[in-house]
Amino acid sequence: MSATHPQPQITGGAPEKGLGHPRWVRLSHWIVAASVLTLAFSGFVILMAHPRLYWGRVGNELTPALIELPISRNYHHTGFGPATPFFDRPGSPVTAVRTYDIFNQNGWGRSLHFLAGWFLVVTGTLYVLAGLCGGHFRRDLVPRAGELAPRLLWRDLADHARFRIQAAAGGPPYGLLQKASYCVVVFIALPLMLITGLAMAPAVTAAYPFLADVFGGSQSARTVHFFVFASLVLFLLVHVLMVILSGFGRQMRAMTLGSKS
Amino acid sequence: MKDPQLLITRRSLITGLASAGGLLLAGCSEQGPPTYGNVLRMGDLLTYRAQRLLLPRHALVREYDRRDISSMPATGTANPGDSKEEAFSATHGPVFEQLHAGGFADYRLSIEGLVSRPGSYSLEDLKRFPARTQITKHTCEEGWTAIAEWTGVPLRRVLEAAGVQPQARFVNFHAFDEDADGIDMLDALHPQTILAYGMNGRDIPLSHGAPLRLRVETQLGYKSMKFLRRIVVTDRFDDMGKLGPLQNGWAWYVGI
């Protein structure tokens, strides 16, 4: 790397000794990474079968959508026979025969989604237990009280915005925004994905209806599931960008081989 | 350097993986849906075993109010008697056409297999059983939902009348189109699993499965088979060959 390279500015210089990540963190990181990528891919395939999002309990091609996504040939298809009302009254709900051969790969798509989901749930549960018991969360992930001063937060934001990225140690200690984003992913986004996913399952909501109720219905849960997915994709892009900007080789070594000090 | 925390974590990881594996192995030693060595089917089997293990048995799905009834598309086969349908059966399609023309007066549902009194039931016979009406949400694997009112006879009543034998473990269904599928005894005896002949206060419309469809409210929509023709009670798992979901790449249990 040329020293005259203008941007990004890597500040602080490479640390002498990277602490690296413990083996259980490295192992769970890559299992979670593979599971999340598989879930995102299969989830997208599932969404392509019905690229319409709704709010509430009910939503289908004969009811209005909140958002329609142009991601498969099913987008705005009009392949329906004449609508027949269920009741003899104005404004009655209707039925109609679908005459359009929709894109639908949910046979393998759904099974792959849940298979990856199992890997994520099992690994994630063990990771959270280990992180809680071993002090990793308290020590490395949760911002300390003093760190939460608006001034520090603002400075970290401004530094990121100017691409002034601290050279990575290849492991903790983490920056303030880094801690915040990992905490949001681990403690909010991924659990929310699991809960909104289960809120769409008829056998699960039969036993635990509040899972769907807290979102206002299973279609609302599906919509939240989609937006949290979109946020996680955004996180993934920024995460990979930051790994590159803060020293790709050192970061990858720390998360694969661990650091030799 | 040995970090004691590392040891605990590694041990718990192994324990966790072993118990997940045990759940799968239990699936193999008992009779259940086959995996054919396919990793996707192994995941499905794990989901089935886990839901059976963790969820309370016979929890009722929510029932709604009449004013919650929504529009509902008719997907899949719309008329098994129509030879242009994708799942048209050359054997049973013409029979259905004839029954439909006669207002289903000659319709008979056959019940066979591990029952003491195999036989067939006309719609009138089925309507003589105490009826159950439920307003429930249909969840399609595609991602859409709809609420409708269904009226029919609990499958449990019919199975009891036919005298289900104690070793029975699965109830399989054959339809007038090229569809065949099954459920386990737990779902078959669920109070909301009904053989429905009415929808939204009328006879079921043709496109929604006339004259008789299954409602399995604890699973996704494709398990609630339309156009029922025949019920077979078995003690061993039957993947229903080319007509069943498994050989077409679909999960057999879809509580999620």
Contact residues, chain A, for B12 at CB < 8 Å: 126, 129-130
Contact residues, chain B, for A22 at CB < 8 Å: 3, 6
pLDDT attached to residue A9: 54
Euclidean distance between CA atoms A127 and B21, whole angstroms: 19
State how beta strands B194-199 and B145-154 pair: antiparallel
pLDDT attached to residue A2: 41
Contact residues, chain B, for A134 at CB < 8 Å: 5, 8-9
Residue B3 pLDDT greater than 70, yes or no: no
Q: How many domains does chain A have?
A: 1
Q: Helices B4-29 & A106-133, crossing angle to 10 degrees? A: 150
Contact residues, chain A, for B255 at CB < 8 Å: 201-204
Of B6, B44, B218, the CB nearest to A203: B218
pLDDT attached to residue A147: 87
- For B15-24, how does the pLDDT look when each residue is reduced to its tens digit (9 = 90+)? 555 555 555 5
Residue B78's pLDDT band (cuts 50, 70, 90): very high
Question: Between chains, do B71 and A106 touch, taking CB under 8 Å as contact?
Answer: no
- For B39-70, how does the pLDDT look when each residue is reduced to its tens digit (9 = 90+)? 999 999 999 999 999 999 999 999 999 999 99
Does residue B12 belong to any structural domain of this protein? no
Does residue B256 belong to any structural domain of this protein? no
Output the pTM of the full model.
Answer: 0.91
Q: What is the mean pLDDT of chain A?
A: 92
Question: Between chains, do A63 and B71 touch, taking CB under 8 Å as contact?
Answer: yes
Residue A165's pLDDT band (cuts 50, 70, 90): confident
Nearest Cα to A165, choosing from A8, A48, A23? A8
pLDDT attached to residue A217: 98
Q: Any idea what the CATH number is for the domain that residue A189 is in?
A: 1.20.950.20
- DSSP assignments along A85-103, one per residue: ESSSSTT--EEEEB-S---
Question: Between chains, do A134 and B62 touch, taking CB under 8 Å as contact?
Answer: no
Name the closest residue on chain A to residue B47, using Cα atoms. A114
- Tell me the CA distances in angstroms from A122 to B12, B19, B70, B223, one per residue in order: 11, 10, 38, 28
Tokens matching residue A252: 């990858």
Question: Between chains, do A60 and B219 touch, taking CB under 8 Å as contact?
Answer: no
Residue B170 pLDDT greater than 80, yes or no: yes
Residue B4's pLDDT band (cuts 50, 70, 90): very low
Q: Which carries the bigger pLDDT value, residue B99 or residue A1?
A: B99
Span B124-138, average pLDDT = 98
Tokens matching residue B67: 């004013």
Question: Between chains, do A98 and B10 touch, taking CB under 8 Å as contact?
Answer: no
Q: Percent helix, strand and coil across chain B, each rounded to 5?
A: 35, 25, 45
* Residue range of the domain that includes B236: 61-248
Residues 1-40 of B with CB under 8 A from A: 3, 5-6, 8-10, 12-13, 16-17, 20, 39-40
Of B8, B9, B55, the CB nearest to A203: B55
Instruction: Determine contact, residues A71/A41, Cβ cutoff 8 Å.
Output: no
Query: A35, A48, A57: which to substitute to probe chain B, counting the most B Cβ within 10 Å?
Result: A57
Least confident of A123-132, A180-189, A214-223, A251-260: A251-260
Residue A133's pLDDT band (cuts 50, 70, 90): very high
User: What is the layout of strands, in order, in the sheet containing A84-85?
Assistant: A84-85, A94-97, B72-74
Tokens matching residue A211: 């899972």
pLDDT attached to residue A169: 78
- Tell me the CA distances in angstroms from B156 to A128, A215, B161, one per residue in order: 43, 34, 9
Q: How many domains does chain B have?
A: 1
Residue B6's pLDDT band (cuts 50, 70, 90): very low
Span B230-253, average pLDDT = 97
Residue A145's pLDDT band (cuts 50, 70, 90): confident
Q: Any idea what the CATH number is for the domain that residue B183 is in?
A: 3.90.420.10
Residue A166's pLDDT band (cuts 50, 70, 90): confident
Does residue B36 belong to any structural domain of this protein? no
In this structure, the number of other CB atoms found within 10 A of the CB of residue B207 comes to 21
Does residue A168 belong to any structural domain of this protein? yes
Does residue B197 belong to any structural domain of this protein? yes
- For B23-41, how does the pLDDT look when each residue is reduced to its tens digit (9 = 90+)? 555 544 457 899 999 999 9
Does residue B194 belong to any structural domain of this protein? yes
Using the Cβ of A203 and the Cβ atoms of chain B, whether some distance falls under 8 Å is answered with yes
ipTM of the complex: 0.91
Which DSSP symbol is given to B84? T
Query: B6, B23, B40, B65: which to substitute to probe chain A, counting the most A Cβ within 10 Å?
Result: B40
Residue B154 pLDDT greater than 50, yes or no: yes
Residue A16 pLDDT greater than 50, yes or no: no
- Distance in Å, alpha carbon of B244 to nearest chain A alpha carbon: 13
Query: A38, A46, A53, A58: which to substitute to probe chain B, counting the most B Cβ within 10 Å?
Result: A58
Span B204-215, average pLDDT = 98
Instruction: Determine contact, residues B194/B150, Cβ cutoff 8 Å.
Output: yes
CB within 8 Å of B97: residues ≥ 6 apart? B81
Residue B14's pLDDT band (cuts 50, 70, 90): low
Does residue B213 belong to any structural domain of this protein? yes
> Cα angle vertex B162, ends B136, A203, to 5°?
30
Euclidean distance between CA atoms B208 and B222, whole angstroms: 12
- For A59-74, how does the pLDDT look when each residue is reduced to its tens digit (9 = 90+)? 999 999 999 999 999 9
Nearest Cα to B139, choosing from A112, A54, A116, A94? A54
Does residue B129 belong to any structural domain of this protein? yes
Q: Which carries the bigger pLDDT value, residue B139 or residue B15?
A: B139
Percent residues over pLDDT 90 in chain B = 88
Does residue B103 belong to any structural domain of this protein? yes
Of A46, A57, A118, the CB nearest to B143: A46
> Cα angle vertex A253, ends A247, A255, to 5°?
100
Q: Which carries the bigger pLDDT value, residue B95 or residue A5?
A: B95
Euclidean distance between CA atoms B170 and A14, whole angstroms: 64
> What HEC string does A39-87 produce?
HHHHHHHHHHHCCEECCCCCECCCCCCCEECCCCCCCCCCCECCCEECC
Q: How far is CA A68 from the centre of its chain?
A: 20
pLDDT attached to residue B12: 55
- For A86-117, how does the pLDDT look when each residue is reduced to its tens digit (9 = 90+)? 999 999 999 999 999 999 999 999 999 999 99
pLDDT attached to residue B15: 56
* Residue range of the domain that includes A128: 18-50+103-256
Using the Cβ of B220 and the Cβ atoms of chain A, whether some distance falls under 8 Å is answered with yes
Using the Cβ of A3 and the Cβ atoms of chain B, whether some distance falls under 8 Å is answered with no
Euclidean distance between CA atoms B2 and B29, whole angstroms: 39
Tokens matching residue A69: 């996504």
Euclidean distance between CA atoms B61 and B148, whole angstroms: 13
Of B141, B145, B255, the CB nearest to A110: B141
